Structure 1
Amino acid sequence: MTRWRLRRASSEDAPAVALVAGASFLGTFAGILDGADIVAHVMRNSSAAKFAAWSDAPDSIVTIAEHPDGGAPVGYTLMTMPDFPIATGRDDIELRRIYTLTIAQGTGLGTRLMTQAIDDARALGKTRLLLGVLGRNTHARRFYERRGFTVAGRRQYQVGNMLCDDVIYAMSI
């Protein structure tokens, strides 16, 4: 069993987190979304500057997962204030992103990242964790449902020319 290292990321870690964000988004959505749209989306939404700002924001938490041999970044989570078209309150937090690179998939890292996110949300005094996932991503949806998330709504968003349908999940914590 690999002993992945998890730690709260700082703005100095932003380039490493952005690298994992781009690679994991590409790996997840290649063959589903247009390649040029993926690149544009990652450049706009997963830049090192964005991760630095999230790392410094008092209402956001970025966690980085590192390989135990050499410390290469292999996964991350991002929690922020919710941004969904459903009713939310001050006791809610959004797990905006949870990703691992292929090398870490199936090793339990995703579960460790989720557990850390729940612990961090509770430490902030939050009582409900929300997240959005592409509706047709059945693998991810099963992962969330096994952990007790239930459907709380839906949303649509654009990635390039493609309109994506997300399922919004919620879980009391």
Structure 2
Amino acid sequence: MPMIEMAQSTDVNTIRDLSIATFAETFASLNTEEDMEQYNERHFSTDELQREIDNPDSTFMVAKVDGVPAGYMKVNVGDAQTEEMLGNRMEVQRLYILRQYKRNGLGTRFMHTAFDMARAQGKSVIWLGVWEHNDAAIAFYKRMGFVQFGSHDFVLGNDRQTDLLMEAAVDRLV
């Protein structure tokens, strides 16, 4: 049975390995190797991820299947959010699952966990950004009750791309 656990500060290498592997599986075929490497160096370095894990306004969750890390989710509140948002919002900044573990309900379990966390913290809205060309993720988020409310630029290496901003009310049933 898959387990979802809150990541600890000592899990930085697990988060780094999952970050690089899942990001490559999701985006490498649609971006240049240079842009992918530049992004990994900037956002998935051990030092950067350690800062993120140790930030009290961010929470990392790791899914394990038979004890093997299968994916992770990062949520942010307060100043850790990637866009300035009202205090009643929580951001799901990253939700990535290794390809071999997809279609087993892990994404849904992560989202249920995020909604539970948001409710426990008195948040009324969960929001996220998703690449406009990631059709599978957009469809998943729509099934989870998210609707688009805007967009923002996302820079991958030297390539400026567009993320759709989506939100869902926390009090909805998931």
Query: TM-score normalized by structure 1?
Result: 0.91
Distance 2:3 2:45 in 1: 23
- Structure 1 runs not aligned, ≥5 long: none
Aligned match for 1:77, one of 70, 73, 76? 73
For residues 84-99 of structure 1, the aligned pairs below 5 Å read 84=83, 88-99=85-96
Aligned match for 2:99, one of 91, 97, 102? 102
For residues 1-173 of structure 1, the aligned pairs below 5 Å read 3-68=1-66, 71-81=67-77, 82-84=81-83, 88-173=85-170
8 Å contact 1:11–1:51 — kept in the other structure?
Answer: no
Q: Specify the SS of the correspondent of 1:55.
A: helix
Letter in 2 for 1:160: G
CA root-mean-square deviation: 1.3
The 10-residue stretch of structure 1 (33-42 or 91-100) with the greater mean CA deviation from structure 2? 33-42
Q: Cα offset for 1:78?
A: 0.4
Q: Cα offset for 1:57?
A: 2.0
Distance 1:58 1:34 in 2: 34
Query: TM-score normalized by structure 2?
Result: 0.91
Distance 2:26 2:96 in 1: 9
- Structure 2 runs not aligned, ≥5 long: none
Total equivalences in the alignment: 167
Percent sequence identity is: 31
Moved over 6 A (4+): none
8 Å contact 1:135–1:165 — kept in the other structure?
Answer: yes
